[in-house]
Amino acid sequence: MNDQEITQILQDTGAIRHGHFKLTSGRHSDTYIQCARILEHPRLTTMLASEAIRRLPDDLREQIDLVASPAVGGILWGFAVAEALNTPMIFSERKEGKMVFRRSFEVPDNARVLVAEDVVTTGGSVKEVIDLVHGAGGVVTCVCSLIDRGADPDFGADFFPLLRLRTPSWPADECKLCQEGIEIDSPGSRCL
């Protein structure tokens, strides 16, 4: 599967939206990638996750003991990635605004962890999960996302997005769409 085919899947499922959006990161954009439109199709999701894992270097793929994802968007993607790797999967969630592992989830000492996220814009949620993994005694081997919006974040580990989709985003105070009075949509999980 090539990038053009993956982009076509995004378009066919309605995952690429255009307008005025407040992203989960707080930045504004004229393009929103609604991965939930892909993730609502289990076969499609597992197919894309299998492709993402196929693209990992062989030696790295064989070293992964656990997949960890941030809630909410990363959970389904993380589950599909873990299924493709045949490894356990855990997820973090926010409690009083702070990312934590709950539900008795544990990271075994020295576990080699792949952090999975649906869309990376600034990488903030991924970095929070990485901090949790390190704090629990695990080692982050890599980060795997469905989409990289082009932030080129430094995770301190290799980053393997299935698709790099360069879409513009701006700090809220520099948003021309706001200045033009165009109504904003906040579809992300922290933008309610």
* Amino acid symbol at 166: R
Are 44 and 9 a contacting pair, CB within 8 Å?
yes
Task: Read off the pLDDT of residues 140-189 as tens digits, 9 standing for 90 and up.
Answer: 999 999 999 877 788 999 999 999 988 888 999 999 999 999 999 888 65
* Span of 16-25, 68-77, 147-156, 159-168 with lowest mean pLDDT: 147-156
* Domain spans in the chain, listed from the N-terminal domain onward: 3-179
**Other residues' Cβ atoms within 10 Å of the Cβ of residue 43:** 7
Domain boundaries 3-179, corresponding CATH code: 3.40.50.2020
